[in-house]
A and B are shown apart, each in its own frame.
Chain A
Amino acid sequence: MKQESETEMLKEYAEQEYKYGFVTDIESETLPPGLNEEVIQFISKKKGEPQWLTDWRLKAYKIWLKMEEPHWANVEYPKINYQAISYYSAPKNMKDGPKSLDEVDPELIKTYNKLGIPLEEQEILAGVAVDAVFDSMSVATTFKDRLAEKGVIFCPISEAVKEHPELIKKYLGSVVPQSDNFFAALNSAVFTDGSFCYIPPGTRCPMELSTYFRINEPNTGQFERTLIVAEKGAYVSYLEGCTAPKRDENQLHAAVVELVALDDAEIKYSTVQNWYPGDKDGKGGIYNFVTKRGACRGNSSKITWTQVETGSSITWKYPSCILQGDNSKGEFYSVALSALKQQADTGTKMIHIGKNTKSTIISKGISAQKGQNTYRGQVMIKKSATGARNYSQCDSLLIGDQCGAHTFPYLDVKNTKSHIEHEASTSKIGEDQIYYCKQRGISEEDAINLIVNGFCKEVFKELPMEFAVEAQRLLEVSLEGSVG
């Protein structure tokens, strides 16, 4: 009893503090830490959202309050205090940031240089106040014109809420409902921005869409919301992320990505994730708790997830496919690297509902130093999914003897007319392999890169060309110093 009343008191106290802060901070457009209905209303109002969306957010909040943070993943982290997070901050004043690259952590600059990132981009990534308008602005404008010609919509989701409310209303939350999971509910309540992409029927998007080119407000990273809809016979390839390590003051990231593919449509979604992984003791890294799901709603539709995960201190991520349409296909290709003290629990879910649906899972986990890498995947074949097929291959590669690899495949088959194959392997980079390479004149570090790239090849070939080259380079940089 005593404990309960104490909690009650603390809560009251916290809210009081909060209310006080709330009033003073309205002018500065940044909310003090804490979450309640007023905060959500404030965010919604700031974004100029219609009432239905405000209600939608509030509903999510109420659901979230009743949920508990999931702890089934094979990761460990201190308890997150959700009342200590600020859920809205207006675009940051650049004057607060470092004045020049000289003020930025030299380690970060070293990595940028290794990745060959031009100076101007380094400044933007590191948050240096730059006055000059950089090239991508003009690139983005011509880019928008070309897309508009084809009727493709690609804009911040907050803009889409105003410009295309009917589409947002129809599809938002239709793949990942507010009640889906703890982090998705939180995201639904407080998301600030993200991308919206719509490809009209029969249209092949004329270029690869990349978040990199999206003119956007800063600070959308924490609770990002992305929605991509491919109409009948449409095709789009979407690239998320960037190989450069990005620092962010927000430790918790809980994004939601929803994909909808109608009849004969195809969506390729590629991610290179390189959030700050923390230092060698795991301090300061990003917690990346993401819900990504695609619905193959139409017959013969196809969704491909390809991810290269090298960053974050903790990754909790399962890009999934709901194969509703007959003959629809879901694919998942993943490379997840855990070095330093990183923890990754990642995999996919393939839910077969339609007839003759097919799914392919290729997962490559790499663990080095004190990294822990877990593959967690579920293949569910419903009674209706006759003729369904799945092929899963989960390979783990260990570098050194302080790291770990774990595989948890779940299979759930409800009919007898389907076919499932699962292959798994764990291997260690052999001394003999390194010796063989060295005997040919290749240095130890290059030998490891060769072997790791060979291991990841099946996934890299699914990435768009340029991204694949960057991803390869990224792995090399991430693995530097992990041997010896």
Chain B
Amino acid sequence: MLKITNLHASVEGNSILKGINLEVKAGETHAIMGPNGSGKSTLAQVLAGHDDYEVDKGEVSYLGKDLLEMDVDERACEGVFLAFQYPVELPGVNNTYFLKSALNAQRKYRGESEIDAMEFMDLIGDKIKLLNLKDSLLKRPVNEGFSGGEKKRNEIFQMAVLEPKLALLDETDSGLDIDALRIVAGGVNAMRSKDNATIIVTHYQRLLNYIVPDYVHVLVDGKIISSGDKALALELEEKGYDKIIEESKA
């Protein structure tokens, strides 16, 4: 589904990603772990197409297409979803209306008919329950006045409705208490299928107790220094990043 080859990227001239190679197949869940400033979030943003990040070298092929050639909204319509680390507030823009607009934009892109408000309400009913969202949250402006946990839950709710092929979760666990973490993880797990893939970017192992990854990669200074399965995450938790870095050099 996704093939990243020798990807280099920078922000304002500072080189951040220094040769990433990663292949993600449909049905897989990958976790990218690493210390602060290692380039985890940059990788997620580059894949989503953020303007601030300059791709200097490398290729990203997504479903056989050149992902880097596509504009942000085109990538989204092709099924790339980024759950933001810091979801953005849109004052006055109704949360439900926003999500309906997004869904219809994607449907239109795929040549499907737009759905009306009634159909939309039917469609989101189950997903609201899944993420245990309050009705009032749906009527409020997007992310405005939401608590940290509510924002993250809202991200996963959007993801559940938009049903992406490739989901990128950027530090989705940060700022979540244990109950919210369980709900968010439940939402993500419910959507896992053989047709889609998930990349989870995180500092901590704890999210991976709930969303069990097929692969774990350790990102340090813009490069993947080590890859493995779930056991690698536990090892990291136990030993810390420094130790793993040392071992990788040895």
Whether the Cβ atoms of B73 and A436 lie closer than 8 Å is no
**List of A residues within 8 angstroms of B162 by Cβ:** 440-441
> Quick check: which of B2-10, B82-90, B180-188, B212-220 contacts chain A, the rest being far away?
B82-90
CB distance from A430 to the nearest CB of B (A): 7
Whether a CB of chain B sits under 8 angstroms from the CB of A446 is yes
Whether the Cβ atoms of B92 and A457 lie closer than 8 Å is yes
**List of A residues within 8 angstroms of B75 by Cβ:** 439
Mark B42-72 against chain A: 1 for CB-CB distance below 8 A, else 0.
0000001111000000000000000000011
Within 8 A of A (CB), among B75-119: 75-77, 81-82, 84, 87-94, 98-99, 101-103, 105-106, 109
Whether a CB of chain B sits under 8 angstroms from the CB of A380 is no
Tell me whether A454 and B82 are in contact in the complex, defined as CB-CB below 8 angstroms, given that A431-B51, A441-B162, A444-B73 are known contacts: no
Whether the Cβ atoms of A451 and B90 lie closer than 8 Å is yes
CB distance from A45 to the nearest CB of B (A): 53
Q: Of B71, B88, B102, B158, which is within 8 A of A433 by CB?
A: B88
Tell me whether A454 and B102 are in contact in the complex, defined as CB-CB below 8 angstroms, given that A440-B158, A440-B162, A441-B109 are known contacts: no
Range, interface on chain B: 20 to 34
Give the A-binding residues of B (Cβ under 8 A): 48-51, 71-73, 75-77, 81-82, 84, 87-94, 98-99, 101-103, 105-106, 109, 141, 158, 162
**List of A residues within 8 angstroms of B48 by Cβ:** 439
Tell me whether A442 and B102 are in contact in the complex, defined as CB-CB below 8 angstroms, given that A435-B50, A435-B72, A436-B84 are known contacts: yes
With CB as the reference atom, state the residue of chain A lying closest to B141.
Answer: A454
Q: How far is the CA of A297 from the CA of B246 in the complex (A)?
A: 84
Q: Of A432, A433, A440, A450, which is within 8 A of B76 by CB?
A: A440
CB distance from A334 to the nearest CB of B (A): 15
6 contacting pairs across A/B (C-beta < 8 A) = A436-B87, A439-B82, A440-B162, A451-B90, A454-B90, A454-B94
CB distance from A448 to the nearest CB of B (A): 11
Tell me whether A453 and B84 are in contact in the complex, defined as CB-CB below 8 angstroms, given that A441-B162, A442-B102 are known contacts: no
Task: Please classify the interface of chain A as helix (H, G, I), strand (E, B), loop, or mixed, using the class held by over half of its residues.
Answer: helix
Q: How far is the CA of A454 from the CA of B94 in the complex (A)?
A: 8
Within 8 A of B (CB), among A430-472: 430-433, 435-444, 446, 450-451, 453-458
**List of A residues within 8 angstroms of B72 by Cβ:** 435, 438-439
In order of increasing CB-CB distance, the 3 nearest A-B pairs are A454-B92, A454-B93, A440-B102
Q: How far is the CA of A430 from the CA of B89 in the complex (A)?
A: 10
CB distance from B204 to the nearest CB of A (A): 24
5 further A-B contacts with Cβ under 8 Å, apart from A433-B88, A437-B98, A446-B101, are: A435-B50, A436-B87, A437-B90, A446-B105, A454-B92
Q: How far is the CA of A454 from the CA of B73 in the complex (A)?
A: 20
Whether the Cβ atoms of B73 and A432 lie closer than 8 Å is no
CB distance from A401 to the nearest CB of B (A): 16
Give the B-binding residues of A (Cβ under 8 A): 430-433, 435-444, 446, 450-451, 453-458
CB distance from B67 to the nearest CB of A (A): 14
Whether the Cβ atoms of A454 and B101 lie closer than 8 Å is no
With CB as the reference atom, state the residue of chain A lying closest to B84.
Answer: A436
Q: How far is the CA of A443 from the CA of B109 in the complex (A)?
A: 11
**List of B residues within 8 angstroms of A456 by Cβ:** 92
**List of A residues within 8 angstroms of B109 by Cβ:** 441
Q: How far is the CA of A222 from the CA of B186 in the complex (A)?
A: 65
Whether the Cβ atoms of B73 and A441 lie closer than 8 Å is yes
Q: How far is the CA of A442 from the CA of B105 in the complex (A)?
A: 6
**List of A residues within 8 angstroms of B101 by Cβ:** 442, 446, 450
Q: How far is the CA of A441 from the CA of B81 in the complex (A)?
A: 9
**List of B residues within 8 angstroms of A451 by Cβ:** 90, 93
Tell me whether A441 and B91 are in contact in the complex, defined as CB-CB below 8 angstroms, given that A435-B51, A436-B84 are known contacts: no
CB distance from A457 to the nearest CB of B (A): 4
Which of B72, B84, B94 has the most A CB atoms < 10 Å from its CB?
B72
**List of A residues within 8 angstroms of B81 by Cβ:** 439
Whether the Cβ atoms of B90 and A450 lie closer than 8 Å is yes
With CB as the reference atom, state the residue of chain B lying closest to A449.
Answer: B101
CB distance from A347 to the nearest CB of B (A): 21
Q: Of B82, B93, B99, which is within 8 A of A453 by CB?
A: B93
Q: How far is the CA of A458 from the CA of B51 in the complex (A)?
A: 32
Whether the Cβ atoms of B77 and A441 lie closer than 8 Å is yes
CB distance from A453 to the nearest CB of B (A): 7
Tell me whether A438 and B98 are in contact in the complex, defined as CB-CB below 8 angstroms, given that A451-B90, A454-B91 are known contacts: no
**List of A residues within 8 angstroms of B98 by Cβ:** 437, 440, 450
